[in-house]
Structure 1
Protein backbone atom coordinates (compact mmCIF):
# COMPACT_ATOMS: atom_id res chain seq x y z
CA UNK A 1 0.00 0.00 0.00
CA UNK A 2 1.23 3.50 -0.79
CA UNK A 3 1.13 5.05 2.66
CA UNK A 4 3.42 7.72 4.07
CA UNK A 5 3.76 7.66 7.86
CA UNK A 6 3.76 11.06 9.56
CA UNK A 7 4.24 9.85 13.15
CA UNK A 8 4.25 6.74 15.34
CA UNK A 9 3.48 6.88 19.06
CA UNK A 10 3.83 4.14 21.66
CA UNK A 11 3.52 4.96 25.36
CA UNK A 12 4.09 2.45 28.10
CA UNK A 13 1.06 2.33 30.39
CA UNK A 14 2.37 -0.06 33.05
CA UNK A 15 5.85 -1.42 33.72
CA UNK A 16 4.41 -4.95 33.74
CA UNK A 17 2.44 -4.59 30.50
CA UNK A 18 3.73 -6.86 27.76
CA UNK A 19 1.25 -5.49 25.20
CA UNK A 20 1.22 -1.80 24.34
CA UNK A 21 -0.97 0.16 21.94
CA UNK A 22 0.70 1.83 18.96
CA UNK A 23 -0.75 4.89 17.20
CA UNK A 24 0.27 5.45 13.57
CA UNK A 25 -0.61 8.78 11.97
CA UNK A 26 -0.32 8.87 8.19
CA UNK A 27 -0.26 11.65 5.67
CA UNK A 28 -3.42 11.96 3.56
CA UNK A 29 -4.17 8.60 1.97
CA UNK A 30 -7.02 6.76 0.25
CA UNK A 31 -9.16 4.75 2.66
CA UNK A 32 -8.66 1.61 0.57
CA UNK A 33 -4.89 1.79 1.13
CA UNK A 34 -5.39 2.04 4.89
CA UNK A 35 -7.69 -1.00 4.90
CA UNK A 36 -5.11 -3.02 2.94
CA UNK A 37 -2.24 -1.94 5.19
CA UNK A 38 -4.22 -2.70 8.36
CA UNK A 39 -4.99 -6.20 7.06
CA UNK A 40 -1.29 -6.81 6.44
CA UNK A 41 -0.29 -5.45 9.86
CA UNK A 42 -2.88 -7.64 11.62
CA UNK A 43 -1.15 -10.71 10.14
CA UNK A 44 2.13 -9.92 11.94
CA UNK A 45 2.97 -12.24 14.84
CA UNK A 46 3.69 -9.27 17.14
CA UNK A 47 0.15 -7.90 16.71
CA UNK A 48 -2.06 -9.46 19.38
CA UNK A 49 -5.35 -7.67 18.86
CA UNK A 50 -7.54 -6.06 16.24
CA UNK A 51 -6.60 -2.74 14.67
CA UNK A 52 -8.84 0.26 15.26
CA UNK A 53 -8.86 2.85 12.49
CA UNK A 54 -9.93 6.43 13.18
CA UNK A 55 -10.12 8.92 10.32
CA UNK A 56 -8.77 12.39 11.11
CA UNK A 57 -9.64 15.20 8.73
CA UNK A 58 -8.14 18.66 8.90
CA UNK A 59 -5.65 17.58 11.56
CA UNK A 60 -2.66 19.90 11.57
Structure 2
Protein backbone atom coordinates (compact mmCIF):
# COMPACT_ATOMS: atom_id res chain seq x y z
CA UNK A 1 0.00 0.00 0.00
CA UNK A 2 1.45 3.35 -1.06
CA UNK A 3 1.93 5.89 1.70
CA UNK A 4 3.29 9.41 1.11
CA UNK A 5 6.72 9.96 2.59
CA UNK A 6 6.15 13.68 3.23
CA UNK A 7 3.13 15.85 3.96
CA UNK A 8 1.89 17.59 0.84
CA UNK A 9 2.30 21.35 1.14
CA UNK A 10 -0.70 23.65 1.21
CA UNK A 11 0.27 25.22 -2.14
CA UNK A 12 0.61 21.84 -3.85
CA UNK A 13 -2.70 20.65 -2.39
CA UNK A 14 -4.51 23.76 -3.60
CA UNK A 15 -2.85 23.59 -7.02
CA UNK A 16 -3.99 19.99 -7.40
CA UNK A 17 -7.53 20.76 -6.26
CA UNK A 18 -7.81 23.76 -8.60
CA UNK A 19 -8.28 21.32 -11.49
CA UNK A 20 -11.52 19.97 -9.98
CA UNK A 21 -14.25 21.86 -11.79
CA UNK A 22 -17.98 21.52 -11.80
CA UNK A 23 -19.92 21.55 -15.01
CA UNK A 24 -23.40 22.83 -15.71
CA UNK A 25 -26.01 20.07 -16.09
CA UNK A 26 -26.98 19.13 -19.62
CA UNK A 27 -30.43 20.45 -20.45
CA UNK A 28 -32.69 19.61 -23.37
CA UNK A 29 -35.95 21.23 -24.33
CA UNK A 30 -39.14 19.30 -23.62
CA UNK A 31 -40.39 17.66 -26.82
CA UNK A 32 -43.98 18.57 -25.91
CA UNK A 33 -44.84 21.47 -28.25
CA UNK A 34 -47.04 23.15 -25.67
CA UNK A 35 -44.30 23.04 -23.03
CA UNK A 36 -40.78 23.36 -24.47
CA UNK A 37 -39.23 24.00 -21.03
CA UNK A 38 -35.60 22.93 -20.38
CA UNK A 39 -35.33 19.60 -18.57
CA UNK A 40 -32.74 16.97 -17.75
CA UNK A 41 -32.40 14.28 -20.42
CA UNK A 42 -34.03 10.89 -19.78
CA UNK A 43 -36.31 12.31 -17.09
CA UNK A 44 -39.95 13.32 -17.04
CA UNK A 45 -40.64 17.02 -17.54
CA UNK A 46 -41.42 18.65 -14.22
CA UNK A 47 -43.51 21.34 -15.95
CA UNK A 48 -45.92 19.24 -18.04
CA UNK A 49 -45.30 15.72 -16.62
CA UNK A 50 -44.66 13.99 -19.93
CA UNK A 51 -41.96 11.47 -20.80
CA UNK A 52 -41.48 9.92 -24.23
CA UNK A 53 -44.79 11.35 -25.42
CA UNK A 54 -46.80 9.88 -22.52
CA UNK A 55 -48.26 11.54 -19.43
CA UNK A 56 -46.41 9.95 -16.49
CA UNK A 57 -46.73 12.62 -13.79
CA UNK A 58 -49.93 14.24 -12.60
CA UNK A 59 -49.22 17.97 -12.75
* TM-score for both structures, normalised by structure 1: 0.25
Tell which structure's C-alpha radius of gyration is larger.
2
Q: Which has the higher helix share?
A: 1
Relative contact order (alpha carbons < 8 A, sep ≥ 6): 1 or 2 greater? 1
TM-score under structure 2 length normalisation: 0.25
